[in-house]
Amino acid sequence: MASPSTPELRVQTLFLQHAPLLQGFIYGLLGDRAAAEDVFQETFVAVAQSAASYDPERDFLAWVRGVARNKVLEYWRRQGSTPRLVSEEFLEEMITVAEQYDLTDWQARRTALARCLEQLAPRARQIVELRYAEVPLLSAAIAQQLGWTVNAVNVALSRARSFLQTCTERALRIQGET
Amino acid sequence: MIRERDSNLIEALLDRELTPAEQLELQQALRESPAARQHYWQSLMQDRLLRDLLRETRGHDMALVETPMGQQPEAALVAPQQSRVTPRKSLLRSMVIGVLAASVLIGLFAWTKSAANLAAPLGKLQSLSGQVTIREADGRTSPAASGTIVRYGQSILVESEESSAELQLDDGSTLLVEADSVLVLPSSATAMAGAREHARARFFLERGGLTVQANFPSTQQPLLFTTAQALIKVLGTEFRLYSDAHESRLELNEGSVQLLRQADQQEIVVSAGEYATIPTILVNQKLELLEAKTLSRAKCELRQTMLRAGRSARLSSDSQLMATVRGRELRLWELASGKVVKQINQFNTPPEQLAFTPDNQAIVGITQKGQLLQWSLDQTEPRLTQLSEEAIRMTHLAADGSAVAQAIAVKPARLQIWRMNENAPAASSQQTFPAKPWSAAVSPASQIQTAASAQWDGEIELFDLNSGKLLETWHVARSARPVEISQHSRYLAAYGHEDGLYLFERKTDAAKVSKPGRSLWSHIGARVRCLKFSRDEKLILAGFDDGLVRVWSTQSGEMLLVLQTGDPRVDDLDLSQDGKTLITVGQNEAVKVWDCVWPELLEGV
């Protein structure tokens, strides 16, 4: 198997490194997992096709976010008047908030979140694992498996997420201060 | 402060599709409330991170194939213990995090205590490629370049797949830090000397791969290397060390090394041609005897090197001929004499993959852009045909040149299969399979011919080209590439970007459930660039980006050969039908021909 040319490989490698962050970004603008996946794929194709013109001095994430933004707009135009989570005129404002997350922040969050996960109570941890496992279970299935009510699972899941968010932010704050 | 209702709507979005009314309500909230926007992105990023953290998948059972949201997978109800994140894994993860955290804390402590020595130089970086960063003990980072002086207390971060860095120490020893690796340098010369008797320095391989050529007089103190699981005292040698969350693996080329298991302080000496592994130990887990094992039971000796021969190479089935591509030329070599006997160059874009037809009378080639080349060796010109011109993510040519698989990215995304024709048209589109393939593979023509589509999310689907049926669905952590199918489609090998090389075996007709994948190589410090099965399906060969070829038995999973090609990386490889001739293609277009002898059981492959 021959190796691809260097700029293509470099851009693909960078894309892979930023993929989870970019997936989150696109999903945040569309609010629909299936649509987000399609747009993510289209973004990759566009980025790969422009690999040769990518200047390594430029901020890669800013560049691919720009491409993704255009793909989101294209997607909306294809969809016509289907209701949207984020309206077009409000898009830039949403993007501005998302831009605070870069790869360094993402990795720091990942590390902090991994530690916070260990601090969850065993039952809460189990619910989070079932919800985010390879085969993600919805609340009803988790409830059936644990012998809980659906409402109890929802409450536990909500509390767990809230704890993880607070714990992660606190860890990042402490890290920032030190 | 975010309103509770807004928070609930955001959470609902993470778990299910919102109703149009809820969507409108959330849209309104995001528009009006900066706190809602902040919370929205935080929640989404956390959601994505949780998926990322908790789905560190391995090859697994068919019963656990991911189902669309909203459908309840039966397997998860009846077999919760099969969830990807088991308590054991969870414990393992906490231990690894704990060990790493402890190491960092110890490192920080040592650094603080020995700040006076921080500025002391330790060595010089050279032969850098790709993205290499120096991290200070306080976390600050700066880009490195060839010639950069590194100092005690710093770390070397080799960040991407294409990167590597060589550290030359003042005694002439060299440490080659492979891609995706982090090497933490000793915190200070004096502190380290005091920390362990005889210690001159201690390096911590946080993750990744490292090749060491120690070069110092016996009167000097030995070098010391640590990982989360092991401590290695170098007694004058050349070795490779790999470390990740699961294990440390040490492979020795020359000399000997004293290896100490951190968990119980058991110590052994590993000598040239041996290897040893130390897995991460769980609490209360019984420790197995630490022992050195033979690194390669098979042996390959270099027969000849053809410099500037090409970047892609294939052997004819009788091992008499070899085809290579160099620049715009397709060359045919007589292997015995090492001479070019024919060549053609009538194409603008040279093919990147090659195959001999089973009768060795023709060569088939394909470019990544989908141009097909068929060269009958008794003709002076090849036949060129353009297959699909759409956005092709990857093209794969069957080992016998009988078919081409294309991963097509544009809508509708699909896996497209082309079959070769003897007469015009040169190829016809046989089948398409709905998929979103990141990479693709197609097997040679046989009783059963199959094609595989490896998707972005790590799902790999294997299709029967005759019936069009989906035969198998397997998983790796994320996007597998390359993927290869064996001669009779019994095996599929896939290199997952995040979790290494897996071997999957197709289930028998009687079996209802697929076999889980076998992990062959998990150290992402050395990455697979090319894969090839032996014609009889007994061996799987992988060419790595650290210049090594590793070969495993498909039956036992045992690693039979570790071959240093002497090239910085292996771009392509092929094994003759009888298994006695191996060719490797290095970064500088050097094609090397090797004579191989396999263990008794595998002789005559």
First-to-final CA distance of chain B: 69
pLDDT band for position B603 (50/70/90)? low
Q: Alpha-carbon distance B273 to B289, whole Å?
A: 19
In this complex, is the C-beta atom of A156 within 8 Å of any C-beta atom belonging to chain B? no
Q: Do B311 and A3 touch (CB under 8 A)?
A: yes
Q: How far is B216 from chain A (nearest CA, A)?
A: 37
Question: Mean pLDDT over residues B430-451, rounded?
Answer: 89
Q: What is the pLDDT of residue B88?
A: 36
CA distance B214 to B221: 11
Q: Tokens representing B305?
A: 């090197």
User: Which residue, among A40, A43, A10, has the nearest Cα to B457 in the 3D structure?
Assistant: A40
Task: Considering only the beta carbons, identify the residue of B20, B64, B325 that sits closest to A83.
Answer: B20
Under the banding of pLDDT at 50, 70 and 90, the label for residue B4 is confident
CB contact under 8 A, B15 and A138: yes
Residue of chain B minimizing CA distance to A48 = B393
Asked if the Cβ–Cβ distance from B48 to A45 is below 8 Å, we say no
Partner B contacted by A134 (CB < 8 A): yes
The CA distance from B201 to B185, in Å, is: 8
For the segment B226-249, what is each residue's pLDDT rounded down to a tens digit?
887 788 877 767 888 988 878 889
ipTM: 0.90
Tell if the pTM clears 0.80, that is, is over it: no
Question: What are the pLDDT digits (tens) for A48-83?
Answer: 888 888 887 888 888 999 999 999 999 988 887 676
How far apart are the C-alpha atoms of A64 and B213, rounded to whole Å? 41
Averaged pLDDT for residues B356-372: 89
Which segment, A80-94, B224-238, B343-357, is predicted with the most confidence on average? B343-357
**Is B83 within 8 Å of A165 when comparing Cβ atoms?**
no
Q: HEC string of B510-552?
A: CCCCCCCCEEEECCCCCCEEEEEECCCCCEEEEEECCCEEEEE
Q: Is any Cβ of chain B less than 8 angstroms from the Cβ of A13?
A: yes
Q: Kindly give the pairing relationship between strand B403-408 and strand B392-397.
A: antiparallel
The first and second tokens of residue B454, run together, are 């490896």
Chain B positions touching A44 (Cβ under 8 A) are 409
What is the reported pLDDT for B275?
Answer: 93
Q: Do B46 and A106 touch (CB under 8 A)?
A: no
Is A125 at the interface with chain B, CB within 8 A? yes
Reported as a pLDDT band with limits 50, 70 and 90, residue B193 is very low
Chain B residues whose beta carbon lies within 8 Å of the beta carbon of residue A109? 45-46, 49
Task: Give pLDDT, residue A2.
Answer: 33
Mean pLDDT of chain B: 79
Contact state of B572 with A2 under an 8 Å Cβ cutoff: yes
B10-41 pLDDT tens trace: 988 888 777 888 888 888 888 888 888 888 99
Q: Which of A17, A27, A48 sits opposite B44 (nearest CB)?
A: A27
Search chain B and give the residue with CA nearest A21.
Answer: B45
Judge contact between A123 and A153, C-beta under 8 A. no
Instruction: Give the span between the Cα atoms of B583 and B224, in whole angstroms.
Output: 37
The verdict on a CB contact (< 8 Å) between B475 and A134 is: yes
